[in-house]
Chains A and B, each alone.
Chain A
Amino acid sequence: QVHLVQSGAEVKKPGASVKVSCETSGYTFTSYHITWVRQAPGQGLEWMGRISGYNGNTDYAQGLQGRITMTTDKSTSTAFMELKSLRSDDTAVYYCVRDSNYYDPREFWGQGTLVTVSS
C-alpha cells in the first residue's frame, strides 16, 4: 500500500525556518510528483508547489517564491519542504500529496504536520 508519513509538529519563532519531511513507501518514487498543500487553522486549502520525484524539478506558488524550497532524497523516497522567514500567518497544517499520473489517477495524502509560528 502507498503510505506518506510526515515529520512531527513544529513550533518556530517568527523569522526562523522549518523543514518538513514526507517519507513515502509502496510505490515507485521517481514516477510521481509530490505536491505540498497547507491549511491555516479554520481556513481553506492552499497549493504551495510540487516537485518531480524523477528529476527534482520544482514549481512554486507565486506568493511563496523566494521563501520555499522543495527537495527530494531518492535513496530514501523522501520529500522535503523548507519554508524560511516564517511569519505568524504561516501557522498551518502542511500536507504532502503523492500526485496522480497518466497511469494511476489515485492521490495519497500524508497525515499532515502542524507548524506553529509564535513568539
Chain B
Amino acid sequence: QSALTQPASVSGSPGQSITLSCTGSTSNVGSYNLVSWYQQHPGKAPKLMIYEATKRPPGISDRFSGSKSGNTASLTISGLQPEDEADYYCCSYAGGSTYVFGTGTVVSVL
C-alpha cells in the first residue's frame, strides 16, 4: 500500500482556519469511513485527534473537525493557536485488516 498523499506544509495566522487534505484511493479512504488524524509535536508520540473520519475522542477541542468526500479526507483546524503548530498525519483502513498512514503535513502558525 502506498502512503496517502498529504500536502507537505500548511500555514496560517492565529485565529484563522486551515484545512489539511489526505488523498487516497478507492482501496482505502474512498471505501471506508475509518480515517483517523494524528497530531505530533517534536519528540513526542502522536495523539489521536479524529477517528472514523468525523469523530473527536474525549478531551479533543472542537476546534478540530474532520470530513471526507470520495477519496479525500480533510482535517480543519479552526481558531488556529500557536500550540497547534505540529505535524499532522492521516491514517486509513486499507482492507485486509491493514492500515496506511499519510505522508504528513507540517502546520506552521505564523
Task: Point out residues on A near B: beta carbons under 8 Å.
Answer: 35, 37, 44-47, 49-50, 59-62, 95, 100, 105-107, 109-112
Q: Do A109 and B45 touch across chains, with their CB atoms under 8 A apart?
A: yes
**Additional pairs, 8, CB under 8 Å, beyond known A45-B46, A107-B51:** A37-B46, A46-B101, A47-B99, A59-B97, A60-B98, A62-B98, A100-B48, A109-B45
B3 CB to closest chain A CB (Å) equals 7
A94 CB to closest chain B CB (Å) equals 11
Q: Name 30 A/B residue pairs within 8 A (Cβ), A-sorted.
A: A37-B46, A37-B101, A44-B3, A44-B101, A45-B38, A45-B40, A45-B46, A45-B89, A45-B91, A47-B91, A47-B98, A47-B99, A47-B101, A50-B97, A59-B98, A60-B98, A62-B1, A62-B98, A95-B45, A100-B48, A100-B51, A105-B51, A105-B55, A105-B58, A106-B57, A107-B57, A109-B46, A109-B47, A111-B45, A112-B45
Contact partner of A44 among B98, B99, B103, CB < 8 A?
Answer: B103
Task: Point out residues on B near A: beta carbons under 8 Å.
Answer: 1, 3, 38, 40, 45-48, 51, 55, 57-58, 89, 91, 96-104
